[in-house]
Structure 1
Amino acid sequence: MPPQAAPAINGHASAVTPPAKRLADFLQPLRIDGVLVHKLAQDLSEVFVELAAQSDDQFLPTPISQSILSRPVDDATSGPHLAIDIGGTNLRVAFVELAHHAPQDSEGENAQDNQSLRRHLEHSWPIGDHLKNENAKGLFAWIGACIAEVVAKACDQQLAGIAAATELPLGVTFSFPMDQETLNTASLRQMGKGFAITSRLDLGQHLLDGYESSRGELPRIRIAAITNDAVATLLSFMHQFSASSASQAGTAATIQRRPVMGLICGTGCNATVFMGLGGLKQSKRPKKVQTLPGEGGGNSGDGQLSIAVNTEWSINGSAGPLRNNGLINRWDDMVSAAAEKPGFQPLEYMTAGLYLGEIGRLALVDYMTNVLGKNPKTFPEKLLRRFEPRNTTFLSHFSPSQDGDWSGLVDRLNDEFPTGGAQRPLEAIENLPAAKFRWTEDMAQALYHIARAIEFRAAGIIAASTVGLLKCSGALPSRDELAVMSASELHLGVGYTGGCITNFQDYLQHCQELLDELVEREYGNETPRVRIVLEPCHDGGIDGAGILVPAAVASGI
């Protein structure tokens, strides 16, 4: 399914003809197909195994065992539990209540309708630039005041005995680099994302100090668990996509469901899986892993113990398979060179929202200059700006009407990239020696096909990375394992979040199609049928923090 053909999804591109030959030739550097995606998945699987065993920057283990998240929810552990999610742009605070029984018979979008948990008194605040520029004390004092505001409302509304508590365990999701040796402690690295804080800080202590400055007569808090956003997404998804067997409506088929991966594909891109400690470099294993009482595990020498691993798969350790398979092109190299850390995250540059719009801009400028022969000095000023924040959003829904009329896209280009002054009829300017720039349907068609090619390649890379990672982690079953299963289908759930995979053209749908094709190449007509199923998990940061609280308490924290 080459990108040049602009594959149709739900009739979205049904009226669009393939690009003309000169545009199709121009788009060749973005080309990807099922055969190449399969080869990339195989290569990435091998590289991921090496990175887990050797890299200090990727496949970062956490102190979270798979077992503590499998503990049944009961009256004593359902909560509500205080949770916060500190992101790059927003702070969220809520009390998260777990249902006694997570949904066991849901598939696809319907899974969201099953309330496996509830958030009470949820509040969200933007983290403005003035806060990002604060020192650590000022920033965490503000965070503490926000937590205190929600706790005070819980006390006023008599939420599940919160007012009577002397101390509240807190779950924390933190979307920044950190070093973590135990579940309830973390040392901050340089934050980035516009934050001025650069020194290594004790995250837990700064949160406690910040809250204390606003606490008054409210209950104290203690840090029960800290994790990052990618790990929290997987933890939340485990609760949503509970391991189960379910009968398929109207058939005798039984489906076994296993949650296996959390995927973030928004501004950035990352993934989390469970892996055995034995596959990880000895020096980066956590000193202690939280397990259930009486389980006997918890030390880093237990190679069989399965823990959550933050892969940081977009860092440059994964560059080899991308370049060796001819997927990194001149526009990607230009994006990489202009990035905050050139060459640092090649997979992210090709798949995530911060960068896809920039690839599209570079490709369009290249096409208009070197194929159409236009003078870039006449181009709209905004089109020549690097990393314009709106470009990815603009390209996400840049599609013609279903009757194939391109005039609406020309109007959108004029609105988004104004040329300065009213447009003259083409005939009136053809003979002028220095004609003003004018958006045309040819340019609109080119940009549409560029966006589709960028999206389809990104979907292929994510599909290949997903299969490669699931092979590396052992989540993809062997044929021997399948032979002894009683279910007729095995669904391996990948919980995803992020505006890019959700909104950029048909990114999500193409990713699912390519996953289906990859699995068919892996297993053929094996029974039970295996599927890797993408399901939304959009509130994983705050939910995962809440889910971790009873797990941490049960393990003795």
Structure 2
Amino acid sequence: MSSAAFKSTVSQFVLSNDQVHKIIAGLTSELVEGLSTTDPKNITQQPSYITRLPTGKETGLYLAVDMGGTNLRTAAVHLLGDGQVGVTMEKHEITHQLKTGTGQAMFDWIADCTASLLKSVALDMGNADLQMGVTFSFALHQTAINRGKVLAMGKGFDLSDVMGKDLKDLLEDGFKRKNLPIVVSAIINDTVGTLVSHAYVSPSTKIGVILATGTNAAYIERASEVSKYKGPACDQMILNTEWDAMGKADYLPQTKYDKEIDAVSLVPGFQEFEKMVSGLYMGELVRLALVDLIQQKAVFTFLNGIVPESLKTRLAFKTLFMSTIESDNSSDHSSIDRVFKTSFGIEGLSAQDRADVHELIHTIGKRSAKMTAAACAALLRKANGASVKLDDPKEITTIGIDGSVFEKYPHFSRKMMDELTDILGQDRASRVRLELARDGGCIGAALVAMVSHSGGAV
């Protein structure tokens, strides 16, 4: 039987209905605030300068770069019409050395990766400039469809001489240094890319979500609501919410472990919502809770309260381990033994230890799904009556979701949908679809680059 200390620890990660609705109300308040704020420290609700979604009929060949928290993807994207695309893509890991080095080194490397793609696809358009769309998974102060100043990055990035610089200039300077005739004709956020690309395939898509190393969302808002937007007149605007940076202590149900993660992060007090739900942090929550429970002799009692060195390393317990363990349907959770033996050199777990570890992991994973669903509910309610028609029985609203947590974490989508049903009610929830969106960054960037280059208003 689990100890009282174990039950107390796990209960901190269980959300009540009141807590869920408090999250929705808090996020909604921040969504509204972000529409008008001019505070440079508030990076939420960034206008994308994209005022319509694709029709699915667009055609052409465009380059794309997708810079995320873990990898850089380069792609040649052939838009074929009828919602069809052909993609040649290469993926490159962004090393810690690159993440914490100079901006010039980073953008020279991006140019080298792009040159590698061009060589592999043997793309030669003579003397013509190659048009590129760029997906940038970090906050930008966008000033045009192809220009944006880099804001705080997060996700382990600490580049010198980049903050406040225009991303188009940073990229094109790198291409020039490598003698590549490439023009950046569109810059979008990865979540905007997910929304745009999934709408190309599924026209009912009104919200795009990323749930991977980090998390973010984009949705379609009435332009009249976005008072801080100073661009050309339009009826609607896709907004990059930067919901990762939302979340205040007065409504986020932070445990002491969440607060510890925040305290030792590169930027304490920044991206507090993200630190509670995304792939970079879920495994770390498990590790911190386990360390605490071992010290209390509430689990792994054979260790006599002494935490193994292998478990003391920050981020040592990967969210991938959680996924592996939750995928194991055996009654004795034998995968737990394998994970702890292989990755931490810990052997001798009892049946109760395995049951406790499984319960802890399941509860933390479920909290992430519930909090993400609450954030989606806030967006659905904010957009309801405009781009979203929750009360119209003939209207379906699709949320396109890209990212390893949504795609690979066991039962995550079902847990999200169950929570949305609880929040919205059966009728409204039945008009909402959660769909996996893949490679949204590259395809979305290519779509926006195509429309921008052809002179049409996106």
What band does the TM-score fall into relative to the shorter chain? 0.7 to 0.9
User: In the aligned structure 2, how far is the partner of 1:320 from the partner of 1:525?
Assistant: 31
Q: What aligned pairs does 1:286-365 form with structure 2 within 5 A after superposition?
A: 287-288=230-231, 298-299=232-233, 305-322=235-252, 327-365=253-291
User: In the aligned structure 2, how far is the partner of 1:500 from the partner of 1:462?
Assistant: 11
User: In the aligned structure 2, how far is the partner of 1:212 from the partner of 1:30?
Assistant: 50
**Is structure 2 residue 404 aligned with structure 1 residue 492?**
no
RMSD (Å) for aligned C-alpha atoms: 3.0
Alpha-carbon distance, 1:349 to partner: 1.6
- SS of equivalent to 1:99: strand
- Per-residue CA distance 1:432-463 (angstroms, 9 max, x = gap): xxxxxx53222221111001111111111111
The partner residue of 1:48 within 19, 31, 56 is: 31
- Check the 8 A contact 1:271/1:310 in 2, yes or no: yes
| Distance change >3 Å, CA 540–CA 170, structure 1 → 2 | same
Alpha-carbon distance, 1:124 to partner: 2.3
Aligned to 2:44: 59
- SS of equivalent to 1:509: helix
**Is structure 2 residue 455 aligned with structure 1 residue 550?**
no
Letter in 1 for 2:72: L
Letter in 1 for 2:87: R
- Per-residue CA distance 1:454-502 (angstroms, 9 max, x = gap): 11111111111101112113344364xx2xx6x3xx3211111111233
- Check the 8 A contact 1:358/1:391 in 2, yes or no: yes
Letter in 2 for 1:145: D
- Check the 8 A contact 1:400/1:409 in 2, yes or no: no
| Distance change >3 Å, CA 406–CA 60, structure 1 → 2 | closer
Letter in 2 for 1:197: S
Alpha-carbon distance, 1:280 to partner: 2.7
- SS of equivalent to 1:79: strand
| Distance change >3 Å, CA 52–CA 379, structure 1 → 2 | same
- Check the 8 A contact 2:190/2:440 in 1, yes or no: yes
- SS of equivalent to 2:147: coil
- Check the 8 A contact 2:27/2:247 in 1, yes or no: no
- Per-residue CA distance 1:404-425 (angstroms, 9 max, x = gap): 1245533432332224xxx6xx
Letter in 1 for 2:85: L
**Is structure 2 residue 433 aligned with structure 1 residue 506?**
no
Aligned to 1:203: 167
Does 373-382 or 390-399 show the bigger shift? Answer: 373-382
| Distance change >3 Å, CA 546–CA 411, structure 1 → 2 | closer
- SS of equivalent to 1:80: strand
The partner residue of 2:376 within 445, 463, 466 is: 466
| Distance change >3 Å, CA 506–CA 196, structure 1 → 2 | same
- SS of equivalent to 2:59: coil
- SS of equivalent to 1:30: coil
Aligned to 1:140: 107
**Is structure 2 residue 60 aligned with structure 1 residue 79?**
yes
User: In the aligned structure 1, how far is the partner of 2:339 from the partner of 2:128?
Assistant: 57
Aligned to 2:422: 517
Aligned to 2:332: 405
- Check the 8 A contact 2:78/2:86 in 1, yes or no: yes
Aligned to 2:86: 118
Q: Which is higher, the Rg of structure 1 or of structure 2?
A: 1
Aligned to 2:183: 222
Alpha-carbon distance, 1:195 to partner: 4.5
The partner residue of 1:94 within 58, 75, 83 is: 75
| Distance change >3 Å, CA 370–CA 340, structure 1 → 2 | same
User: In the aligned structure 1, how far is the partner of 2:421 from the partner of 2:250?
Assistant: 25
Aligned to 1:261: 207
- Check the 8 A contact 1:48/1:318 in 2, yes or no: no
Letter in 1 for 2:177: S
User: In the aligned structure 1, how far is the partner of 2:38 from the partner of 2:378?
Assistant: 17
Letter in 2 for 1:185: R
User: In the aligned structure 2, how far is the partner of 1:315 from the partner of 1:444?
Assistant: 35
- Per-residue CA distance 1:479-532 (angstroms, 9 max, x = gap): 4xx2xx6x3xx3211111111233334322211222233232xxx557xx7422
Alpha-carbon distance, 1:402 to partner: 3.8
User: In the aligned structure 2, how far is the partner of 1:125 from the partner of 1:396?
Assistant: 24
Does 202-211 or 32-41 show the bigger shift? Answer: 32-41
Alpha-carbon distance, 1:153 to partner: 4.8
**Is structure 2 residue 180 aligned with structure 1 residue 212?**
no
Letter in 2 for 1:548: V
- Check the 8 A contact 1:58/1:313 in 2, yes or no: no
- Per-residue CA distance 1:279-330 (angstroms, 9 max, x = gap): 2343xx2x43xxxxxxxxx23xx5xx211111111224454332xxxx2222
- TM-score of the superposed pair, with normalisation by structure 2: 0.87
Aligned to 2:310: 382
User: In the aligned structure 2, how far is the partner of 1:361 from the partner of 1:88?
Assistant: 21
The partner residue of 1:394 within 310, 316, 321 is: 321
Letter in 1 for 2:261: V
Which 5+ residue runs of structure 2 have no aligned equivalent?
none
- Check the 8 A contact 1:368/1:443 in 2, yes or no: no
- SS of equivalent to 2:130: strand
User: In the aligned structure 1, how far is the partner of 2:26 from the partner of 2:47?
Assistant: 26
- SS of equivalent to 1:51: helix
- Check the 8 A contact 2:389/2:397 in 1, yes or no: no
Aligned to 2:219: 273
Does 199-208 or 372-381 show the bigger shift? Answer: 372-381
Give identity over the alignment, percent.
26
The partner residue of 1:539 within 414, 421, 439 is: 439
- Per-residue CA distance 1:22-70 (angstroms, 9 max, x = gap): 6444422111255653554345334422333337424333342332x34
Letter in 2 for 1:83: A
User: In the aligned structure 2, how far is the partner of 1:55 from the partner of 1:319?
Assistant: 22
- SS of equivalent to 1:117: strand
- Per-residue CA distance 1:348-388 (angstroms, 9 max, x = gap): 12111111111111222233333638577622111122322
User: In the aligned structure 2, how far is the partner of 1:318 from the partner of 1:328?
Assistant: 10
| Distance change >3 Å, CA 24–CA 131, structure 1 → 2 | closer
Letter in 2 for 1:513: D
Does 461-470 or 132-141 show the bigger shift? Answer: 132-141
- Check the 8 A contact 1:276/1:306 in 2, yes or no: yes
Alpha-carbon distance, 1:278 to partner: 2.5
User: In the aligned structure 2, how far is the partner of 1:78 from the partner of 1:43?
Assistant: 41
